[in-house]
Chains A and B, each alone.
Chain A
């Protein structure tokens, strides 16, 4: 493989891992449920970035695109359900704090 392509992939990989760390940090640090969802979104963005870069470098752009489209559909559905759950929790506990939903009873 061309060394220029490898360096391109490495730089994309570096920034994707940075984005992944930022998203993970957001999930770990915040107690707000909406912020946790935003952290999950950032993790998905990091994965999207690395798939796009891998598709470009390996020459399988079309395959990468089809994978990303599937991922985006799944992401949208997950977010819709998660937002519904967050609204339900807010109606029940009147708060978005993660610490208030530790004693779940099934």
Chain B
């Protein structure tokens, strides 16, 4: 219960940061963080299959979508990109070393502690419910995916015509 409460507070703080931060890219990162915390909560509440979906689609795909739209709408000039890369190299020169040291350290720790991954509890009923009880949902998902693909094709065709 205490861990759940801690996770819920972290979720709220991450969402507040998402809304309040000035930079759009930080906002997108905050949203990904909110999704990741929600995934942990879902794992804790025995919804492991939904948690995997949340992690892959919401934390991964949708964050990539947001980052893409931000980079498409706020493009940098080549001069700015070079300047940014130079300053980034100067600021974060120690990061590769830190990653290597942490990787080696964690591997040694895992070997010493003989850490075995815990078995994830996945009920087989989820698939049965999805395929037998909620057939109409599957149909709806297929229709919506097709509608989405159709919408994207139309949007890009329109922008090509306008361009």
Bound: A26/B28 CA distance, A: 13
Interface residues in B5-52 (C-beta closer than 8 Å to A):
5, 8-9, 11-12, 15-16, 18-19, 24, 27-28, 31, 34-35, 38, 41-42, 45-47, 49-50
Contact residues in B for A66 (Cβ distance below 8 Å)? 126, 129-130, 133-134, 137
B93, CB-defined interface residue at 8 Å:
no
Contact of B47 among A25, A61, A81 (CB under 8 A): A61
Measured between alpha carbons, how far is A79 from B159 in the docked complex, in Å? 18
CA–CA, A25 to B156, complex, Å?
31
Give 11 new A-B contacts, CB below 8 A, not counting A12-B4, A68-B53, A87-B69: A19-B11, A32-B24, A39-B19, A41-B62, A42-B18, A62-B126, A63-B129, A68-B47, A75-B62, A76-B58, A76-B61
What is the CA–CA distance of A53 and B62 in the complex, to the nearest angstrom? Answer: 23
**A-facing residues in B61-86 (Cβ within 8 Å):** 61-62, 65-66, 68-70, 72-73
A81 touching B152 in the complex, CB below 8 Å, given contacts A19-B15, A61-B45, A88-B159: yes
Nearest CB on A from B8, distance (A): 4
What would be 25 A-B contacts, judged by CB atoms less than 8 Å apart?
Answer: A15-B9, A22-B12, A22-B15, A38-B18, A38-B28, A41-B31, A42-B31, A45-B35, A49-B38, A56-B45, A56-B46, A61-B47, A61-B123, A64-B50, A67-B137, A68-B50, A68-B54, A69-B50, A70-B137, A72-B53, A72-B54, A83-B68, A84-B155, A87-B73, A87-B159
B104 to chain A minimum Cβ distance, whole angstroms, is: 36
| Contact of A74 (CB < 8 Å), options: B1, B8, B66, B144 | B144
Nearest residue (CB) in B for A73 is: B141
Could you tell me the distance between the alpha carbons of A68 and B48 in the complex, rounded to whole angstroms? 11
Given the complex, which residues of B lie within 8 Å of A23, measured CB to CB? 15, 19
The reply to whether A52 and B15 contact each other, CB–CB distance below 8 Å, is no
CB of A83 to closest CB in B, whole Å: 5
Residues of B within 8 A of A75 (CB): 57-58, 62
Contact (Cβ within 8 A) A61 B46: yes
Residue interface bits B137-163, CB-to-A below 8 A is 1, else 0: 100110011011001100110110011
CB nearest to B146 among chain A residues: A77
